[in-house]
Amino acid sequence: MLRTIIMLLGVVVLAACPGPVPDQADRARITQVQETYDSEFRTAVSTQELDVKPGSFPKTLKLIQNGAENEQVDSFYTLIEGLIFLQTGQLGLAQAVAPEITGSTNKLATDGIASRNVVLARNYADLVGTRADVDTLRSLDRNTLEQHTQRVAIVKDIEARTAKVTRNLCRLGEADDGAAFVAAYQATSLLEADNAMSRACVPDITDAEACGRFLGQRPQLNEARDLMAAFSGDAAEASQIAQTRRKIEQDMSQRAGGAALPPPTDPC
C-alpha cells in the first residue's frame, strides 16, 4: 500500500546491508530523523511547485549535521540531506552530494530488493539534472528564436532524463513510495516543459507547422500522464502525488475540449 509523498521515506531496514549492522540506538536515531523530516515536510509542502521554502527543515538538519559513525546510517542521513537540498531548491548543494548519494545504493539495499531509498538514490542525479533544466527553462522569458532553440534543447534533455528514470522504475516490478515520488517529480518537470513550450510556440518566430503539431499533441503532457498512471498507485487523494495526477488530467481534458480522454499508455 502506497503512503503519501509526505511519508515517502518509510521505515528503513538495513540488516542485510554490508558493514556493521545498525544497533538499537542507531535505529532510534533513524526513526527520529525520519519522523522529524516527515513532520517538517507536512508543514512546508507546496502542491504547486517543485520545491518548498529554504529553511523548512531546521530540526532535521540539526539532527543529521554531525553524520553517524555507522556507514549505513550515515548514507541514510546523506540521502535525506540531499532530498532536502533538492526540495528547497538549493541546486548547488544538491549537485555536490549527488555523487555520494548515487554511490550509496549498495548500502541502502535491503535483502537485494530495491527499497524506496535505493530507488531515490539511484535516480537522484537525474532528479537534480532535471531540476537544473527546469531552472534554466524558467529563466528563458523572451520569445526569440535563440531562446526557443534553447527551450527545445532543454525539453529534450528533460525527456531523455525522464526516459532513463522510467526505465529504472519499470525494473522495480512493483511501485513503492520512492517510485511514486520520483514519478511525481519528473511528471511535474514535464508540466513545466509543456508550459514553457506552450508559451513559446509563436508562429511568427518559430516554425508554424511545428507549433501546430506541438499544440495538437502536447507530448510532455502525455508522458507525464503515463508516468503518473503507472507509478502513483493508490496514493491518498490529499497527497501531492494525487494532486499532480489531477493537474495533468485537468490540463489534458482542457486540451481535449472536455472530451473523454483515452486510457494512458503503459510506459514500461
pLDDT in tens, 17-76: 444 556 677 778 878 887 888 788 777 765 445 567 888 899 999 999 877 777 888 888
Residues 77, 194, single domain; the answer is: no
In a domain, 122, yes or no: yes
122 and 102, same structural domain?
no
- For residues 94 and 185, membership in a common domain is answered with no
Same-domain pairing of 57 and 143: no
- For residue 174, is it within any domain? yes
Average confidence (pLDDT) over 145-165: 88
d(CA 188, CA 243): 10
Which residue range forms the structural domain that includes residue 247?
Answer: 117-255
Average pLDDT, the chain: 76
Closest by alpha carbon to 254, among 218, 209, 229, 202? 218
Is residue 266 included in any domain, yes or no? no
Q: Are 38 and 7 in contact (CB under 8 A)?
A: yes
Residues 125 and 245 grouped into a single domain: yes
Does 236 score more than 80 pLDDT?
no
Quote the number of domains for the chain: 2
Same domain, yes or no: 144 and 237: yes
At residue 211, does pLDDT exceed 80? no
Residue pair 71/78 in contact by the 8 Å Cβ criterion: no
Residue 217 located in a structural domain = yes
Residues 6+ apart with CB under 8 A from 182: 119, 120, 123, 127, 165, 169, 231
Confidence at residue 75, expressed as pLDDT on a 0 to 100 scale: 87
Torsions phi, psi for 183 (to 5 deg): -65, -45
The answer on 145 and 82 residing in a single domain is no
Sign of the torsion formed by the C-alpha atoms of 146, 149, 151 and 153: negative
Calculate mean pLDDT across residues 67-96.
87
Handedness of CA 154, 81, 244, 171 (dihedral sign): positive
Q: Degrees (nearest 5) of the Cα angle 28, 44, 158?
A: 100
With respect to residue 127, please indicate whether it lies within any of the assigned structural domains.
yes
Can you list the pairs that 23-27 forms with residues at least 24 positions away whose Cβ atoms lie under 8 Å? 23/70, 26/68, 26/70, 26/73
Residue 68 counted as domain residue:
yes
| For the ranges 6-10, 96-100, 206-210, 249-253, the one whose mean pLDDT is highest | 96-100
Residues 89 and 136 in one domain: no
Query: Greater confidence, 16 or 123?
Result: 123
pLDDT score, position 97: 94
Closest by CA to 116, choosing from 174, 170, 167, 179, is: 179
The answer on pLDDT for 163 being more than 80 is yes
Let me know whether 152 and 241 are in one domain.
yes
Q: Under a CB-based contact definition with an 8 Å cutoff, are residues 36 and 77 in contact?
A: no
Is residue 113 predicted with pLDDT exceeding 70? Answer: no
Dihedral over Cα of 155, 159, 161, 162: its sign: positive
| Total Cβ atoms within 10 A of residue 16 | 11
In a domain, residue 21? The reply is: yes
Do 161 and 58 share a domain, yes or no?
A: no
Asked whether residue 267 is assigned to any structural domain, the reply reads no
Statement to judge: residues 188 and 68 lie in one domain: no
Instruction: Specify the pTM.
Output: 0.77
With bands split at pLDDT 50, 70 and 90, how would you rate the model's confidence at 2? very low
